């Protein structure tokens, strides 16, 4: 249990955490004398997680649990309500029928695949642009580097809706309506400022010694980039990719304007497709809620299996949204 | 900012490697292409379109000068949606600085089932916003919604409300959804907590300070940098939260819960010759986003240098 925090928190933070001088008492006392077992255990967990120590009394611990559980119930209520509603009228049959008798013009599993395909394009573009730019901004020396980096970050906060009109125009000009590329590119454009920030922050923490050694060996920048920088930034690249996939999964704006072919409907878009395809009767409402629950599944899987990458990525990049 | 602070040897190397700019140009080329298309071209296109009256086909555009901007800035609905936008952002900021801080701190003190708690609290922020808002909308429907059904079932039927159709309540509902999405602040606090210096905690413990006292008086002030990051990111995020309103109240009833995102969306999907007008709104939103970005850079810079 005590190792959950370092797993959740970023790689660098983990390192920072480990490198902190051993001046806190519990950690040092762990080594002296033959400690009795239970005592040792307690001390150890304290040392791993200094925050653990701040809960001193039983009453405090109880209050913390009570408040956390209360909030967890409130937070879980909407999803619970969707599940309750989804089982009305026909029970589990509501779920089965989603797969055997698709709602609207698109099978529900197809919406996952569409989101995934858009996510792949999104991730490929973001990673290519961010890793190359991240290398330039962290490992190359040129005049105006910090200035141009600041210029890149200016666009960190641009909301997609603000460039809706030109993106529509660009997609028209390039003939990219109803293509994964057509949606993946504007998504990437919105993510790139963040990606560059993340890769540059990560790149700055990669030591120069390896690069200098390679430089002395006569390796050019392209070899250094490909054989040293890219492999060393792999953790950051993975975080970035996971984030791209989850943002594609969440994105409603671009698919809703740039996909007109129903078979391309993405998961986030399907919510409105299903809502208009189903009536307002009790049976339809139940089926609609079942579809909402099914559409939430990928996000749940992402959080269960990818939370570490998401948190690492978001906190290394320090700001997004 | 960093070059000036670097020690001498580095400075010397820098001068000897100045030719890097050619290589840098190659490495930055993909970035230039994407920025060129989606930001530079976009802004130019918006600026030129914003003074015209044109439909989405972009044919037969009529030059109307500044009229779009005048119309926009005198439209009470636009002002309203701007104000709403900021209000919702402020409400979510308050929730983040209190509830999210508490959740992150409490979970860092080594509670049981921590992963389950993280799942519950972070999931909403990682699901499609359209889905979250729709679930709220469905849950709060007056006749068939689970909330009213539950209230009736436990004998509190008097509390059942037309949540989505009464202006004040609908506003509260949207505010609640914004607060529901505080997963990101929780992540920021969790990350910052793990890098917390332990000395001051131990000193406070020796002084006999209680848990909540330590949280409030010791840990909270130490997270100043994170607070600022969160305030700015939520303020900016509110401009991206089109779906929150679109899928719960659709901006209604009347236009009482409209935000900038739904305002643009409404005009963009209306099908009329509104694209020039939409471009003018977009320019205003872009200016706000850029100003907030600059503010963010200026405010967070000293903190980064300190670290």
Domain that holds residue A152: 108-316
Q: Residues A138, A200: contact at Cβ < 8 Å?
A: yes
pLDDT band at B100 (very low <50, low <70, confident <90, very high): very high
Nearest alpha carbon to residue B247 among B140, B152, B144, B146: B140
Count of domains observed in chain A:
2
Residues A156 and A285: beta-carbon distance below 8 Å: no
User: In this predicted model, which residue has the larger pLDDT, A56 or B164?
Assistant: B164
Cβ contact (<8 Å) for A165 and B212? Answer: no
Q: What is the average pLDDT score of chain A?
A: 81
The chain B residue lying nearest A249, using CA atoms, is B128
Going by pLDDT thresholds of 50, 70 and 90, the confidence category of residue A2 is very low
Residue A127 lies in a domain: yes
Neighbours of B150 (CB within 10 A): 16
Distance from CA of A202 to the nearest CA of B (A): 14
Q: How far apart are CA A149 and CA B297, in angstroms?
A: 11
- Is the residue at B20 inside a domain? no
Instruction: Answer yes or no: do A135 and A280 share one domain.
Output: yes
Count Cα neighbours of B108 within 13 Å in the Cβ-side half-sphere.
26
> Average of pLDDT values for A13-26?
34
CB contact under 8 A, B114 and A25: no
| Stretch among A37-41, A100-104, A159-163, A301-305 having the lowest mean pLDDT | A37-41
Q: B141 to chain A, minimum CA–CA distance in Å? A: 11
Predicted local confidence at residue B209, as pLDDT: 76
Tell me the sheet residues that pair with B53.
B62
Q: A124 and A259 share a domain?
A: yes
Distance from the B61 Cα atom to the nearest Cα atom in chain A, whole angstroms: 14
Cβ separation of A133 and B27 shorter than 8 Å?
yes
The closest CB to that of B297, out of A9, A153, A169, belongs to: A153
Question: What stretch of H or E contains B190?
Answer: helix B183-193
pLDDT computed for residue A65 by the predictor? 93
Residues A297, A156, single domain; the answer is yes
Please report residues of A whose CB lies closer than 8 A to that of B212.
60, 63
Residues 6+ apart with CB under 8 A from B286: A158, A162, A163, B43, B46
H helical segments located in chain A: 4-8, 11-19, 25-29, 37-48, 58-86, 93-100, 108-139, 145-153, 164-174, 180-204, 208-216, 221-224, 230-232, 234-250, 253-258, 267-277, 282-316
Residue A25 domain-assigned (yes or no):
yes
A129 → closest Cβ in B34, B105, B117: B34
Our count of domains for chain B comes to: 1
Among the residue ranges A223-237, A254-268, B57-71, the one predicted with the least confidence is: B57-71
Rounded to a whole number of angstroms, the distance from the CA of B223 to the nearest CA of chain A is 14
- Domain, as residue range, for B164: 27-306
Peptide bond into A17 cis (omega under 30): no
Instruction: Inspect the interface and report whether the beta carbons of A129 and B20 lie closer than 8 Å.
Output: no
B156, two tokens: 């509190």
Confirm whether B271 is domain-assigned. Answer: yes
Total residue count of chain B as it appears in this document: 307
Tell me, yes or no, whether A75 lies in a domain. Answer: no
Q: Is the pLDDT of residue A7 over 70?
A: no
| Interface check A232 vs B, CB under 8 A | no
| Tens of pLDDT, residues B123-172 | 999 999 999 999 999 899 888 888 888 888 888 888 888 888 888 899 99
- The CATH number given to whatever domain includes residue B197 is 1.10.3720.10
Could you give the angle at the alpha carbon of B2 between the alpha carbons of A319 and B3, nearest 5°? Answer: 145
């Amino acid at each position: 249990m005590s190792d959950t925090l370092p797993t959740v928190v970023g790689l660098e933070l983990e390192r920072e955490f480990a490198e902190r001088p051993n001046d806190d008492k519990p950690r040092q006392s762990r080594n002296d004398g033959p400690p009795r077992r239970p005592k040792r255990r307690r001390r150890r967990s304290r040392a791993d997680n200094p925050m653990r120590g701040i809960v001193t009394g039983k009453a405090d611990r109880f209050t913390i649990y009570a408040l956390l559980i209360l909030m967890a119930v409130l937070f879980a209520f909407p999803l619970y309500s969707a599940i309750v509603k989804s089982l009305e009228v026909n029970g589990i049959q509501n779920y089965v029928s989603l797969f055997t008798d698709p709602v609207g013009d698109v099978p529900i599993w197809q919406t996952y695949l569409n989101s995934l395909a858009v996510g792949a394009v999104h991730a490929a573009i973001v990673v290519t642009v961010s890793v190359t730019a991240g290398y330039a901004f962290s490992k190359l020396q040129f005049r105006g580097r910090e200035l141009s980096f600041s210029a890149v970050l200016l666009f960190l906060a641009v909301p997609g809706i603000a460039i809706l009109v030109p993106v529509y125009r660009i997609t028209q000009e390039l003939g990219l309506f109803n293509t994964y590329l057509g949606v993946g590119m504007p998504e990437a454009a919105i993510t790139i400022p963040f990606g560059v920030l993340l890769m540059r922050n990560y790149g700055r923490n990669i030591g120069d010694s390896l690069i200098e050694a390679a430089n002395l060996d006569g390796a050019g920048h392209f070899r250094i980039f490909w054989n040293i920088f890219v492999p060393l930034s792999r953790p950051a690249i993975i975080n970035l990719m996971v984030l791209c996939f989850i943002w594609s999964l969440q994105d409603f704006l671009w698919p809703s304007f740039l996909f007109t072919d129903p078979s391309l409907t993405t998961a986030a878009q399907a919510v409105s497709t299903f809502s208009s395809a189903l009536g307002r009767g009790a049976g339809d409402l139940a089926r609609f809620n079942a579809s909402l629950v099914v559409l939430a599944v990928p996000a749940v899987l992402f959080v269960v299996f990818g939370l570490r990458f998401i948190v690492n990525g978001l906190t290394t990049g320090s700001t997004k949204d | 900012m960093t070059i000036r602070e670097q020690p001498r040897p580095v400075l010397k190397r820098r001068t000897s490697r100045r030719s890097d700019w050619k290589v840098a140009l190659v490495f930055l080329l993909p970035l230039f292409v994407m920025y060129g298309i989606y930001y530079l071209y976009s802004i130019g296109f918006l600026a030129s379109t914003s003074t015209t009256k044109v439909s989405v086909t972009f044919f037969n555009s009529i030059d109307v000068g500044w009229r779009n901007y005048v119309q926009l800035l005198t439209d009470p609905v636009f002002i309203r949606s701007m104000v709403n936008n900021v209000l919702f952002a402020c409400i979510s900021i308050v929730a983040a600085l209190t509830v999210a801080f508490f959740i992150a701190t409490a979970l860092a003190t080594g509670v049981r089932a921590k992963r389950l708690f993280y799942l519950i609290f972070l999931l909403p922020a990682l699901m499609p916003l359209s889905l979250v808002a729709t679930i709220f909308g469905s849950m709060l429907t007056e006749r068939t919604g689970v909330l009213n059904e539950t209230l009736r079932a436990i004998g509190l039927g008097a509390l059942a409300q037309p949540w989505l159709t009464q202006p004040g309540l609908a506003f509260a509902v949207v505010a609640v959804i914004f607060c529901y999405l505080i997963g990101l602040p929780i992540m920021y606090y969790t990350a910052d907590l793990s890098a917390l210096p332990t000395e001051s905690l131990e000193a406070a413990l020796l002084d006999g300070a209680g848990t909540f006292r330590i949280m409030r008086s010791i840990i909270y002030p130490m997270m100043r940098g994170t607070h600022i990051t969160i305030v700015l990111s939520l303020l900016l995020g509110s401009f991206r939260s089109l779906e929150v309103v679109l899928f719960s109240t659709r901006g209604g009833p009347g236009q009482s819960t409209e935000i900038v995102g739904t305002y643009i969306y409404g005009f963009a999907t209306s099908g009329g010759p509104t694209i020039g007008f939409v471009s003018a709104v977009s320019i205003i939103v872009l200016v706000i986003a850029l100003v907030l970005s600059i503010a963010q850079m200026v405010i967070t810079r000293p903190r980064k240098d300190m670290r």
